[in-house]
C-alpha cells in the first residue's frame, strides 16, 4: 500500500474525511494533501488575473460603492460580497470564462466575506456614517496575523501521520489576503490598519 493510500485511510478513520484527497507534496517533515486536481492552483491564479480584480484603482471598491448607493440599508460587508460576486460573474462572461471559472473566485469571496462579518461585528449599513471601532480594528489585525505563518487560517492542520505533519492549504490564500484588504477598504472607507 502506498503512502497516499495509507494517508487516505488515516484521514477517513481519524478525521471522517471520505472525499478523496491526493498527496500533493511530501518532504521529511510534511505531507501536503489537496482535494483539488493537479493544476487547480494555477487555474485559480489565471482566472483571478484574467478578471483584473486586484488592480489599482480597485474595481471591487467601485462596484461596492455603486451598490451602496442603490442599497443604503444593506450591511456593508453583505454589499461588498454581493458586488464582488456580481462583478466576477459579469467579467467572467465578458472575458469568455465559464461559470465554473467564476465559481473558483466567488467561493473565495464568500470566505472573505464570512471573515469580514466577524471583523466588522457592528454590521454597519452602507448608507450610514461609519468609522470602524477600535475593537473592529483590533479584530482586523488579529485576522490578518492569522492569515500568515504557522497560524494561517487558510491552512488546515490534520495532525501527525507516520511522523510527519499533514496539512492542506487553501489554493486561493494569496488572493484571499488581497481580497480581505480590498473588503476592508471598500467596507470602511479607510486603509487597512497597520
The predicted-structure confidence for 25-46, as pLDDT tens digits, reads as follows 999 999 999 888 888 888 888 9
Q: What is the mean pLDDT of the chain?
A: 92
Scan for cell 497516499, then name that residue: 4
Scan for cell 472525499, then name that residue: 19
Q: State the pLDDT at residue 41.
A: 81
Looking at per-residue pLDDT, the higher value among 183 and 172 belongs to 183
% of the chain exceeding 70 in pLDDT: 98
Q: State the pLDDT at residue 154.
A: 77
Beta strands in 57-112 (DSSP E): none
Is residue 150 predicted with pLDDT exceeding 60? no
pLDDT average, residue stretch 79-88? 98
Q: State the pLDDT at residue 39.
A: 85
10: Cβ–Cβ under 8 A, 6 or more apart, which residues? 161, 166
How far apart CA 125 and CA 171 sit, in angstroms, is 32
Packing angle of the helix pair 76-94, 173-188 (nearest 10 deg): 120
Q: State the pLDDT at residue 156.
A: 85
The whole-model pTM stands at 0.81
Looking at per-residue pLDDT, the higher value among 76 and 170 belongs to 76
Is residue 110 predicted with pLDDT exceeding 60? yes
Cite the DSSP H helix spans in the chain: 3-15, 40-51, 59-70, 76-94, 99-119, 134-145, 173-188
How far apart CA 163 and CA 132 sit, in angstroms, is 45
What order of strands is seen across the sheet that includes strand 155-161?
A: 22-26, 30-34, 164-169, 155-161
45: left (phi over 0), alpha (psi -120 to 50) or beta: alpha
Cis? peptide before 9, omega within 30° of 0: no
pLDDT average, residue stretch 9-30? 92
Is residue 140 predicted with pLDDT exceeding 60? yes
Looking at per-residue pLDDT, the higher value among 185 and 175 belongs to 185
% of the chain exceeding 90 in pLDDT: 72
- Given pLDDT bands bounded at 50, 70 and 90, which one contains residue 151? low
Q: State the pLDDT at residue 149.
A: 59
Amino acid at each position: 500500500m502506498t503512502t497516499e493510500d495509507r494517508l487516505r485511510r488515516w484521514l477517513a478513520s481519524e478525521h471522517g474525511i471520505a472525499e478523496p484527497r491526493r498527496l500533493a507534496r511530501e518532504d521529511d517533515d510534511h505531507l501536503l494533501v489537496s482535494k483539488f486536481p493537479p493544476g487547480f492552483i494555477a487555474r485559480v491564479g489565471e482566472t483571478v488575473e484574467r478578471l483584473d480584480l486586484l488592480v489599482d484603482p480597485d474595481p471591487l471598491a467601485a462596484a461596492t460603492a455603486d451598490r451602496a448607493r442603490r442599497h443604503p440599508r444593506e450591511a456593508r460587508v453583505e454589499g461588498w460580497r454581493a458586488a464582488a460576486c456580481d462583478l466576477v460573474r459579469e467579467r467572467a462572461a465578458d472575458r469568455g470564462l465559464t461559470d465554473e471559472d467564476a465559481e473558483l473566485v466567488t467561493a473565495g469571496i464568500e470566505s472573505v466575506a464570512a471573515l469580514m462579518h466577524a471583523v466588522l461585528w457592528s454590521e454597519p449599513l452602507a448608507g450610514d456614517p461609519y468609522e470602524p471601532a477600535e475593537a473592529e480594528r483590533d479584530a482586523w489585525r488579529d485576522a490578518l496575523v492569522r492569515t500568515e505563518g504557522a497560524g494561517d487560517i487558510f491552512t488546515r492542520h490534520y495532525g501527525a501521520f507516520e511522523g510527519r505533519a499533514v496539512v492542506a492549504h487553501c489554493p486561493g490564500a494569496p488572493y484571499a489576503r488581497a481580497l480581505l484588504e480590498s473588503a476592508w477598504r471598500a467596507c470602511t472607507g479607510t486603509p487597512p490598519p497597520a
